[in-house]
Amino acid sequence: MHSFETKSFDIAWVREQFPSLSLQYRRHGSAFLDGPAGTQVPKQVMDAVQYYFLGANANTYGAFLTSQRTNEMILSARAAMADFFNCDPNEVVFGQNMTTITFALARAIGRELRPGDEIVVTTLDHDANVAPWRALEEKGVVIQQVDIRETDCTLDMDDLKRKISVKTKLVAVGYASNMVGTINPVVEITKLAHAVGALLFIDAVHYAPHGLIDVKALDCDFLVCSPYKFFGPHMGTLYGKREHLEKFKPYKVRPATNTSPECWETGTQVQELIAGIGAAVDYIAELGRHCDPSVKTRREALQAAYRATHHYETGLLSRLISELQSIPEIHIFGITDPERFDERCSTLSFRLGSHNPTAIAKFLGERGIFTWDGNFYALNLSERLGVEQHGGVLRVGLVHYNTAEEVERLVDALREFAAGTR
């Protein structure tokens, strides 16, 4: 039926790392298909947070043990994220979440913009990659919004080319859509932005659990992602090219350092969770070593992990799509052709007839199958697809700890729902 294989992946080892996957609900096992809103965490992450509280809990730059351990821990987490992004540690900024980081960065960049300068955003994006840029309209900045091709929910690249001009100062684009899973051609978009001297900002929040990020290969200027979407704690992280982090001036308090990247990290950070971020990266690297013991560096281990999870997730996705297509009245949004799976990740949204997605999510939830319904803050997209006023869509997110059995359970429950409402 399809050529994607899920068998060679050591799913038993993976699931052992995630204690919460054994959660029982009303005598059902829990199927966590809610990853796009936040993934479960491996025990390595929980241990790191606990270890921090037990032996390193203090504020930074004090002349005593726990404060010094805190400094070391932050350096080590920065180095881990640098391997994750493929950048220098001093190009990594920690923050509360992607939304807060992006508002702060947009404000800092906005200081340098003039009325009539333009920023390009897209209809495919989460509002956290739209609203912070739109906020600059108050300063006279003009926002251009790129449309999608409705048939496959991909970016309309002709429209993008039309909207980028010599007036463009920044292009803000998502790496992958958190609603329909489309992966954007970010390398091509970076080249288009740079050709007119504009900066390229990538929201990689949704891409990060599915694909390896390489900011050097992308040549982007900024890239953000949130560790809680890639098996870590609830925080956000930013990559910024060193020259930009040094040039733009964040709003900050006077006594705090002016040195980058710390000047971007306003106030006291959630240090225990920064410890968890380092552990999340190390978990992915451990998975990579488990898949390919020949790897040497952490970056190579991350590469091996993503190679394996990409293959495995694509197998699950392929199965999910072909099973869903056999349910009458299912309408899947986005790419469904297996030949084009490189253009999408394993997050899938659909509607079932005229049923309200909340009713379906509730039905599934009662059976221990956790999915999300609504617009997931991808408001422009939900409106553009005409589903906003009908409760949005039902979203199923498959990550590397999900299984073929969970896909079967989901599809069986959807068939039961459809039969019960006929």
Ligand X SMILES: Cc1ncc(COP(=O)(O)O)c(C=O)c1O
Residues that bind ligand X in the complex, under the rule CB under 6 A: 37, 97-99, 126, 128-129, 174, 178, 203, 205-206, 226, 236
Q: Specify burial of residue 297 (Cβ count, 10 A radius: 0-12, 13-18, 19+).
A: exposed
Which CB, 363 or 372, lies closer to ligand X? 372
Which CB, 184 or 403, lies closer to ligand X? 184
State in angstroms the smallest separation of the CB of 409 from ligand X: 25
Beta bridge partners of 344: 182
**Single-letter code of the amino acid located at 131:** A
State in angstroms the smallest separation of the CB of 90 from ligand X: 22
Which CB, 148 or 301, lies closer to ligand X? 148
Residue 111 makes CB contacts below 8 A (sequence gap 6+) with 248, 249
Q: Which helix (H) or strand (E) holds 146?
A: strand 142-146
Q: Specify burial of residue 255 (Cβ count, 10 A radius: 0-12, 13-18, 19+).
A: exposed
Cβ contact 387:378 at 8 Å = no
* Unique residue bearing structure tokens 């241990």: 47
Which CB, 176 or 320, lies closer to ligand X? 176
Neighbours of 328 (CB within 10 A): 9
Q: Which helix (H) or strand (E) holds 251?
A: none
CA 140/CA 347 separation, integer angstroms = 37
State in angstroms the smallest separation of the CB of 144 from ligand X: 20
Instruction: Tell me, rounded to whole angstroms, the distance of Cα 396 from its chain centroid.
Output: 15
State in angstroms the smallest separation of the CB of 349 from ligand X: 12
Which CB, 364 or 378, lies closer to ligand X? 378
Which CB, 178 or 182, lies closer to ligand X? 178
Residue 138 makes CB contacts below 8 A (sequence gap 6+) with none
Cβ contact 85:91 at 8 Å = yes
State in angstroms the smallest separation of the CB of 379 from ligand X: 12
State in angstroms the smallest separation of the CB of 420 from ligand X: 31
State in angstroms the smallest separation of the CB of 128 from ligand X: 4
Name all contacts of 17-23 with Cβ < 8 Å and 24+ positions apart. 17/42, 17/43, 17/44, 17/283, 17/287, 18/42, 18/43, 18/401, 19/43, 19/46, 21/401
Q: What angle do CA 12, 15, 17 make, to 5 degrees?
A: 115
State in angstroms the smallest separation of the CB of 21 from ligand X: 21
SS3 assignment for 45-112: HHHHHHHHHHHCCCCCCCCCHHHHHHHHHHHHHHHHHHHHHCCCHHHEEEECCHHHHHHHHHHHHHCC
Which CB, 42 or 174, lies closer to ligand X? 174
Which CB, 184 or 190, lies closer to ligand X? 184
State in angstroms the smallest separation of the CB of 129 from ligand X: 6
Which CB, 44 or 177, lies closer to ligand X? 177
Which CB, 80 or 225, lies closer to ligand X? 225
Tokens of 133: 């840029």
State in angstroms the smallest separation of the CB of 95 from ligand X: 9
Tokens of 35: 């990853």
State in angstroms the smallest separation of the CB of 344 from ligand X: 14
CA 94/CA 49 separation, integer angstroms = 16
Among 38, 48, 45, which Cα is nearest to 17's?
45
Which CB, 178 or 314, lies closer to ligand X? 178
Tokens of 316: 């699950």
